[in-house]
């Protein structure tokens, strides 16, 4: 019974094949005046619609010559491998986009090259100058330009955004043309490990790396991702991180060799920050009968739970899961997250032998990557029986090394309580992109936090 999470996030830069068939008949649009349509879908008045349209047209007119599509092409066949968006930020051709848009240029420059395309179809090569994995931004330089590039200005830090302020997001969704979408500023995302702007508007694949601007056309953020389980729940990288990277990139030389070491260095900084946050913040305790198990502080992770499972009439089964919002892009995959999950069993009518059989099978069903992949080695595991303050535990710790990112591992810790004949809790900790020593620190902290509280 492997644990799972409840929501999914999508970066808004598709591979080319993803851009071709995302419309789905499973979720047809609902007309605002159709039965059952939400009240918030009511049409604005003609005057309101005209005002909003004029604003969008004005923003598009102000920004159109500064917007770019960023294409990654296979060098051998000159075909598109991925697409995203970007925008000019300096007259000498510096371009801001997402790291996940340009990651192939960083990790496989011998195989891929980058191209920018303006809104009127002009093309040119780009060089990757710098990237920030933690905040998912990158800076490119446009080649083959003879005239100064038109520039989007950044909004000054001294002018903070106000709740509900209008935001305009620009980009090239689904490779079908440049577009502007309107939405609102809803503050920063709660529990996000790095600052993210909650944009109450629509982002679509292909818009990653495009600018989000205010009513004056000044950049306040960079498009990055959207929630797949919600409507108009999208995310922007605050402009300050793009500005800092632009300053670093201004004097940088193009990256022409695979940058795995630099990606690994930045990911090691990320995992160090994540480990320190977890070690410095006390776990909360979650109760399952007489068992108390560790869960992250509410400021670190979102947690969900479910009660009795109707598929097991004689078995009381509770599940819970927690996950940090700390993922970072490491190329064609994400890493840098922490997940915890529990399954609590109680079956007094089973008898000890039957319960032990079921409990052992549940433990064995937990998936561990026992085969290697292009990205990681097969997991190596160690099993021990430990006594945590009088509570015996069966514990398994597994590590899988990243092949091209030295010093980084995925770690899984499984724990099963063993003190009661017809009760028990299975716990699982998954940490993606962790240093070896820090992984062991988190594993020890996890196992030491299980408790049994005897009935008075």
88-124 pLDDT per residue, tens: 999 999 999 999 999 999 999 999 999 999 999 999 9
Residues 105 and 112: their CA atoms lie apart, in Å, by 6
Coil, strand or helix: which one is 190?
A: coil
pLDDT of residue 10: 64
Band (pLDDT 50/70/90 cuts) for residue 230 is confident
Among 258-262, 315-319, 414-418, 437-441, whose mean pLDDT is lowest?
315-319
pLDDT at 40 over 70: no
User: How far is 97 from 219, CA to CA, in rounded Å?
Assistant: 12
Q: Tens digits of per-residue pLDDT, 178-223?
A: 999 999 999 999 999 999 999 999 999 999 999 999 999 999 999 9
Rounded to whole angstroms, the Cα distance separating 449 from 359 reads: 21
435 vs 283: CA distance, rounded Å: 21
Task: Write down the pLDDT at residue 146.
Answer: 80
How many Cα atoms within 13 Å fall on the side-chain side of residue 456?
A: 0
Domains of the chain listed by start with CATH number: 9-19+40-257 (2.40.10.120), 264-452 (3.40.1000)
Q: What confidence category does residue 35 fall into, taking pLDDT thresholds of 50, 70 and 90? A: very low
CB 133 within 8 A of CB 270: yes
CB-based contact 326:339 (threshold 8 Å): no
195: left (phi over 0), alpha (psi -120 to 50) or beta: beta
How many CB atoms sit inside 10 A of residue 216's CB? 10
pLDDT at 75 (0 to 100): 95
- Beta-carbon count within 10 A of 86 CB: 31
The pLDDT value recorded for residue 288 is 93
Share of the chain above pLDDT 70, in %: 87
Q: Is 77 left (phi over 0), alpha (psi -120 to 50) or beta?
A: alpha
In the structure encoding, which two tokens stand for residue 423, read together?
Answer: 């009760």
Q: Is the pLDDT of residue 38 over 90?
A: no
Q: What is the mean pLDDT of residues 361-384?
A: 92
């Amino acid at each position: 019974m492997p644990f799972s999470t409840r929501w999914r996030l999508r970066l808004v830069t598709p591979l080319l094949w993803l851009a071709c068939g995302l419309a789905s008949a499973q979720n047809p649009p609902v007309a605002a005046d159709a039965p059952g349509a939400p009240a918030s879908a009511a049409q604005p008045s003609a005057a309101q619609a005209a005002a909003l349209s004029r604003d969008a047209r004005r923003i598009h007119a102000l920004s159109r010559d500064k917007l770019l599509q960023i294409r990654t092409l296979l060098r051998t066949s000159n075909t598109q491998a991925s697409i995203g968006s970007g925008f000019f930020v300096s007259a000498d051709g510096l371009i801001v986009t997402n790291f996940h848009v340009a990651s192939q240029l960083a990790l496989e420059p011998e195989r891929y090259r980058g191209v920018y395309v303006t809104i009127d179809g002009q093309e040119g090569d780009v060089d990757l100058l710098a990237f920030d994995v933690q905040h998912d931004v990158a800076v490119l330089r446009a080649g083959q330009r003879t005239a100064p590039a038109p520039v989007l200005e950044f909004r000054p830090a001294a002018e903070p955004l106000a709740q509900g302020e209008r935001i305009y997001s620009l980009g090239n969704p689904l490779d079908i043309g440049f577009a502007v979408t309107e939405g609102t500023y809803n503050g920063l995302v709660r529990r996000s490990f790095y600052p993210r702007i909650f944009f109450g508007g629509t982002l679509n694949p292909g818009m990653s790396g495009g600018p989000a601007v205010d009513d004056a056309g000044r950049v306040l953020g960079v498009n990055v991702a959207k929630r797949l389980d919600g409507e108009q729940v999208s995310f922007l990288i605050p402009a300050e991180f793009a500005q800092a990277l632009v300053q670093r990139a201004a004097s940088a030389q193009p990256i022409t060799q695979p940058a795995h070491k630099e990606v690994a260095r930045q990911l090691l900084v990320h995992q160090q920050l994540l480990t320190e946050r977890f070690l410095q913040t006390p776990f909360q305790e979650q109760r399952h009968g007489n068992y108390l198990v560790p869960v992250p502080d509410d400021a670190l992770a979102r947690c969900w739970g479910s009660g009795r499972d109707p598929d097991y009439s004689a078995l009381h089964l509770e599940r819970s899961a927690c996950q940090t919002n700390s993922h970072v892009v490491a190329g064609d995959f994400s890493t840098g997250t922490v997940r915890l999950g529990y399954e609590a069993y109680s079956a007094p009518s089973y008898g000890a032998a039957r319960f032990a059989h079921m409990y052992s099978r549940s433990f064995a069903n937990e998936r561990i990557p026992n085969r290697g992949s292009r990205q990681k080695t097969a997991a190596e595991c160690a099993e021990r029986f430990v006594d945590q303050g009088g509570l015996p535990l069966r514990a398994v710790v597994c590590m899988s090394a990243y092949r091209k990112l030295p010093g980084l591992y995925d770690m899984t810790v499984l724990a099963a309580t063993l003190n009661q004949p017809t009760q028990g809790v299975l716990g699982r900790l998954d940490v993606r992109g962790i240093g070896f020593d820090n992984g062991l620190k988190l594993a020890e902290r996890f196992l030491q936090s299980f408790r049994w509280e005897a009935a008075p």
